[in-house]
């Protein structure tokens, strides 16, 4: 069923009792052409682009829980592409271009709102680094502009630009195409569109093993619902990538950390854009429901517990209150943790693996949501053609052996 205003009126006359399920919930078939492990945004987007752009429709997306229940439902929904290195800028900007008309493409309102992402500079070093980023981005064709304090204040009124505060705002880098989207709708939209093209989405079906044939190539997976055969398996499992790749005997340069976020009680519109501060170390935006959405860096130690330490949250809120004292008396509604897989250079891995037929899309660390459409798009290309798209070609596992890193950790466009 195509969603439209007319359909909405039609269904209203039936008291909204006649809407069909958004995606099918089939039992797994014995064999698929491609199995995607992990029904988050990246996995579902991969399946959708496999079906829509490469004609590969005999695809299953398996998840141990429910779709969109991992980091897709646990992030702060920030979208931007102002990364320093041109490889990163190309990858993330590919996603931002797809975000632009994603709602139309999927016939599903993902509520992409390019309201601007502003990164504050509080000292001379911040100013120099931010301006270097702005120039690098403009050379790479990515919009990013330097604003003085008054211009920053004009764009984001809650900023205090007086110079007698502890962290004065000496300027800001603004990516106007950056913004937010509705994270759940992204997973649901891709799931519905993929399901309509014949992709089977199988929830509550944990993968317990990866099968290999006599030549070492992938032949299928073992699951909670029995064995399923497939010539190609794509692992898109975020924090659990190491665990899954270990099933195929592939060691990964990853460590999994909890990344916490939290939302406040909902209030009337007060915060017009996304503001990030690396020096004070926090980021904040306001959802369309009115909640302030707040996050910062990962916990200190590796963990698979989706909670994290309270003192980390407190540190985040200290930073927010330092920047925006008017929020000091707001109450926080929910706090949660997601398990993020972090690479040594803080750039993702989107690549073939040493095992024939096994592909991996991981290492997005603390910032994967923004890349969802672009990641799925190039990963589908990698799986369908058995060779990477030009955009994801640098994002190999081998770069950690050759030393050709894409070092966004040192470049630190973001609070890691």
Partner 1 sequence: MLLISCPYCGARPELEFSHGGEAHIARPADPSAVSDEAWAGYLYHRSNPRGLHIERWRHTHGCGRFFNCVRDTVSDEILATYRAGEAPPDLTTLVSSSSSPTPPSTAPEAQPAHSPKATP
Least distance from partner 1 to the Cβ atom of residue 335, Å: 14
What DSSP character marks residue 337?
E
CB of 104 to partner 1, least distance (A): 40
- 309 counts as binding partner 1 under rule CB under 8 A: yes
Question: What are the structure tokens assigned to 271, written together?
Answer: 């915060």
Q: What are phi and psi of 243, to 5 degrees?
A: -65, -45
Instruction: Answer yes or no whether residue 82 interacts with partner 1 by CB under 8 A.
Output: no
Rounded to the nearest whole angstrom, what is the least distance from the CB of residue 307 to partner 1 in the complex?
8
15 backbone dihedrals φ, ψ, rounded to 5°? 55, 30
Of 36-44, 82-90, 301-309, 375-383, the window that binds partner 1 (rule: CB under 8 A) is 301-309
The rounded distance, in Å, linking the Cα atoms of 257 and 271 is: 29
Site for partner 1 in 344-373 (CB under 8 A): 344, 354
For partner 1, the closer of residues 22 and 302 by Cβ is: 302
CA distance 259 to 250: 25
If 0-12 CB within 10 Å is exposed, 13-18 middle and 19+ buried, where does residue 281 land? Answer: middle
Quick one: which of 5, 9, 15, 305 contacts partner 1 (CB under 8 A)?
A: 305
Among 103, 278, 303, 361, binds partner 1 (CB under 8 A): 303
Cβ proximity of 68 and 51 under 8 Å: no
Site string for partner 1, 232-271 (x = CB under 8 A): --------x-xx--x--xxxxxxxx---------------
Q: Which H or E element spans position 179? A: strand 179-180
User: Which stretch in 64-72, 101-109, 229-237, 399-407 sits in contact with partner 1 by CB under 8 A?
Assistant: 399-407
Q: How far is the CB of 301 from partner 1 (least distance, A)?
A: 4
Q: What CA–CA distance (Å, rounded) separates 130 from 132?
A: 5
- What the block records as the tokens of 288 is 């369309």
The reply to whether 225 sits near partner 1 by the rule CB under 8 A is: no
CA distance 349 to 378: 12
Q: Which of 358, 349, 352, 341 is nearest to 221 (CA)?
A: 358
Q: Name the minimum Å distance from CB 21 to partner 1.
A: 32
Do 90 and 232 meet the contact criterion of CB atoms below 8 Å apart? no
Q: What is the Cα–Cα distance from 319 to 328, expressed in whole angstroms?
A: 11
Distance CA 129, CA 131 (A): 6
Minimum Å gap between C-beta 224 and partner 1 is: 11
66 binds partner 1 (CB under 8 A): no
CB 65 within 8 A of CB 203: yes
Size of the site for partner 1 (CB under 8 A): 28
The nearer residue to partner 1, 184 or 255, going by C-beta atoms, is: 255
Q: Is residue 69 part of the contact set for partner 1 (CB under 8 A)?
A: no
Least Cβ distance, residue 383 to partner 1 (angstroms): 21
Residues forming contacts to partner 1 in the complex (CB under 8 A) are: 240, 242-243, 246, 249-256, 300-305, 307, 309-311, 344, 354, 397, 400-402
């Amino acid at each position: 069923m195509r969603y439209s205003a007319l359909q909405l009126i039609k269904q209203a006359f039936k008291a909204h009792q006649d809407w069909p399920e958004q995606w099918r919930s089939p039992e797994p078939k014995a064999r698929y052409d491609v199995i995607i492990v992990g029904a988050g945004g990246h996995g579902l987007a991969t399946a959708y682009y496999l079906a829509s752009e490469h004609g590969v429709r005999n695809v299953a997306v398996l998840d141990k829980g429910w779709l969109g229940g991992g980091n897709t439902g646990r992030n702060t929904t920030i979208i931007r592409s102002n990364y320093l290195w041109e490889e990163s800028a190309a990858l993330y900007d590919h996603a931002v271009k797809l975000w632009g008309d994603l709602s139309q493409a999927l016939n599903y309102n993902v509520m992409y709102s390019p309201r601007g992402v502003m990164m504050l500079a509080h000292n001379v070093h911040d100013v120099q680094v931010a301006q270097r980023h702005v120039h690098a981005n403009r050379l790479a064709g990515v919009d990013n502009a330097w604003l003085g304090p008054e211009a920053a204040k004009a764009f984001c009124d809650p900023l205090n630009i007086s110079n007698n505060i502890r962290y004065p705002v000496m300027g800001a880098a603004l990516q106007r195409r950056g913004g937010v989207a509705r994270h759940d709708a992204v997973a649901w939209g891709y799931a519905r569109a993929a399901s309509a093209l014949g992709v089977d989405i199988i929830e509550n079906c944990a993968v317990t093993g990866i099968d290999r044939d006599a030549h070492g190539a992938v032949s299928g997976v073992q699951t909670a619902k029995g064995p399923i055969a497939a010539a190609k398996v794509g692992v898109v499992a975020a924090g659990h990538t190491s665990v899954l790749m270990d099933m195929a005997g592939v060691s990964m340069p990853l460590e999994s950390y909890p990344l916490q976020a939290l939302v406040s009680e909902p209030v009337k519109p007060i915060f017009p854009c996304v503001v990030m501060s690396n020096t004070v170390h926090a980021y904040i935006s306001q959802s369309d429901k009115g909640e302030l959405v707040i996050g910062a860096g990962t916990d200190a130690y590796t963990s698979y517990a989706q909670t994290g330490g309270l003192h980390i949250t407190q540190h985040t809120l200290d930073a927010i209150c330092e920047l925006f004292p008017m929020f000091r008396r707001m109450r926080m509604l929910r706090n949660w943790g997601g398990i993020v897989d972090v690479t040594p250079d803080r750039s993702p891995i989107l690549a073939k693996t040493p095992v024939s037929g096994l592909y991996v899309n991981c290492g997005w660390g603390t910032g994967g949501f923004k890349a969802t459409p672009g990641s799925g798009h190039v990963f589908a290309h990698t799986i369908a053609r058995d060779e990477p798209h030009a955009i994801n070609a640098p994002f190999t596992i081998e770069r950690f052996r050759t030393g050709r890193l894409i070092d966004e950790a040192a470049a630190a466009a973001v609070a890691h």
